[in-house]
Copies of this chain bind each other. A is one copy, B any other.
Amino acid sequence: MKRKLTLKSIAKELGVSISTVSKALRDSPEISEETREKIKAYAKLYNYKPNNIALSLKNRKTNTIGVIIPQIVHHFFTTVIQGIEHEAREKNYNVIICLSNNDFDKEVLNMELLANGSTDGFILSVSKETMLKEDYHHLNEVIEQGMPVVMFDRVVDGIQCDRVLIDDKEGAKKGVTHMIRSGCRKIGIITSEDYVSVGRLRTEGYLDALDDFGIEPDDKRILKLDNIDDLNDKSKKRIEEFITKNDLDGVFTVNELFAVHASRVISGLGKKIPDDISLVCFTDGQLSEHAVPSLTAVSQHGEEMGRKAAAMLIDKLERPEDEEEEYSTAYIDTSLVERESTKEVIKR
């Protein structure tokens, strides 16, 4: 087993002091040309790389971003991470990803862990449990210690940090408006309970779209499920009931899973998509693209969101200390990806 080179071992080998080696490698003019060349040649030959841990300790800077997300088995988060990765890599930062599994305690634990020297700042999407508990002491703590935080997607108010949000309301409005323009009038929505911010906002967008066209909203056409992240049996049942008992010509859902199940139920009733019922969902992922029929979807541009979040964090990290703190919220635009589950817009 070959032991890693250190400044010390190089110094010993070449008969100079540690600081001479350090300075030579950093091209200090204090060191003579001759010595510098000799040391650099040796370092190169044996592939010397400084120890990151020692550098972090010395510089009190890790050049690492901590990302905390509720779950990774979720296409949207995955694309966000990809965006964070790309931006970070370009700006010479590393990324550490931790999963909270939608568990409050784990979120706190992960943050504490990473906050003890492992990262310079955080990008996070709070877990469902945290939103329910409304306990944000862990966020406030790291912020007080001077670590900047950027929240994305699932954000909460009253925290001193930057935010990156999907324009959920506008996105939902786009999707529903498209259905209305293509002739739908009796549109239902499958959404989540209001405490999940994205669910609430998308519901608002839905209502906005109806309002724009003078369509009266109807509570019976709004289904609020309590789990937005997966599709359990209870949710399946409620979707079946919702679609079977309502007289609808369009359904908007806040995620792909709800849409895929709705699609199945609709087909099972012998109805045609989009001729009898149109279907639009939020989140453009694998399922929307490959389902049969493929689903018209509101694309969230997760990658862009990740890039933006990382850019905002790095910006804060590299801002001179004396500069005034200012927090902003960035919105990432959505776009509608038209596929087989909706009809053409009626032109006048």
| Between-chain CB contacts (< 8 Å), 30 pairs | A1-B146, A2-B145, A3-B145, A3-B146, A49-B115, A50-B116, A51-B57, A51-B116, A52-B117, A53-B56, A53-B62, A53-B118, A54-B117, A72-B72, A72-B78, A72-B82, A73-B78, A78-B78, A82-B99, A85-B98, A85-B99, A94-B96, A95-B98, A261-B290, A263-B292, A286-B286, A287-B287, A287-B290, A291-B291, A292-B292
Q: How far, in whole Å, are A95 and B95 apart by their CA atoms in the complex?
A: 11
Determine which of B49, B78, B96, B99 lies in contact with A112 in the assembled complex, contact meaning CB atoms within 8 Å.
B49
A324 CB to nearest chain B CB (Å): 13
Residues of B within 8 Å of A287, CB to CB, are 286-287, 290
Q: What residues of chain B lie closer than 8 Å to A98, measured between beta carbons?
A: 85, 94-95
Query: Bound complex: CA of A171 vs CA of B292, how far in Å?
Result: 27
A contacts, CB < 8 Å to B = 1-4, 47, 49-54, 56-57, 62, 72-73, 75, 78-79, 81-82, 85, 94-99, 112-113, 115-118, 141, 144-146, 257, 260-261, 263-264, 267, 286-287, 290-292
Instruction: List the 7 closest pairs (A to B, CB-CB), nearest first.
Output: A53-B117, A51-B117, A52-B117, A260-B290, A1-B146, A52-B116, A97-B97
Q: Which residue of B lies closest to A321 (CB)?
A: B1
Cβ contact within 8 Å between B286 and A264: no
Chain B residues in 8 Å Cβ range of A52: 113, 116-118
Chain B residues with CB below 8 A from A257, complex form: 290
Minimum CB distance partner of A72 in chain B:
B78
Shortest distance from the beta carbon of A259 to any chain B beta carbon, whole Å: 10
Closest to A293 in B: B292
- Tell whether A79 pairs with B75 under 8 Å between CB atoms, given A49-B112, A96-B96, A292-B267: no
A145 and B292 contact, Cβ closer than 8 Å, known pairs A94-B113, A116-B52: no
The complex places the Cα of A99 from the Cα of B257 at a distance, in Å, of 27
The CA of A113 and the CA of B115, in the complex, are separated in Å by 20
The answer to whether A290 touches B292, judged by C-beta atoms less than 8 angstroms apart, is: no
Q: How far is the CA of A257 from the CA of B50 in the complex (A)?
A: 43
Cα-based distance from A51 to B264 in the complex (angstroms): 53
Shortest CB-to-CB span from A228 to chain B, Å, is 16
A99 CB to closest chain B CB, in angstroms?
5
State in angstroms the CA–CA spacing of A174 and B116 once bound together: 49
Instruction: List the B residue with the shortest CB-CB distance to A71.
Output: B82
A145 touches B79 (CB 8 A): no
Task: Tell me which residues across on chain B come within 8 A of A261, comparing CB atoms.
Answer: 290
User: For residue A51, which residues in chain B have a CB less than 8 angstroms away from its CB?
Assistant: 57, 116-117
Question: With a CB–CB cut-off of 8 A, which chain B residues contact A116?
Answer: 49-52
Please indicate the chain B residues that have their CB under 8 angstroms from the CB of A57 in the complex. Answer: 51, 53-54, 57
If A1-B144, A144-B2, A291-B292 touch, whether A82 touches B78 (CB-CB below 8 Å) is no
A33–B251 CA distance with the chains assembled, in angstroms: 69
How long is the Cα–Cα vector from A89 to B221 in the complex, in angstroms?
43
| Closest residue of B by beta carbon distance from A94 | B113
Most chain B beta-carbon contacts within 10 A, residue among A62, A82, A286: A286
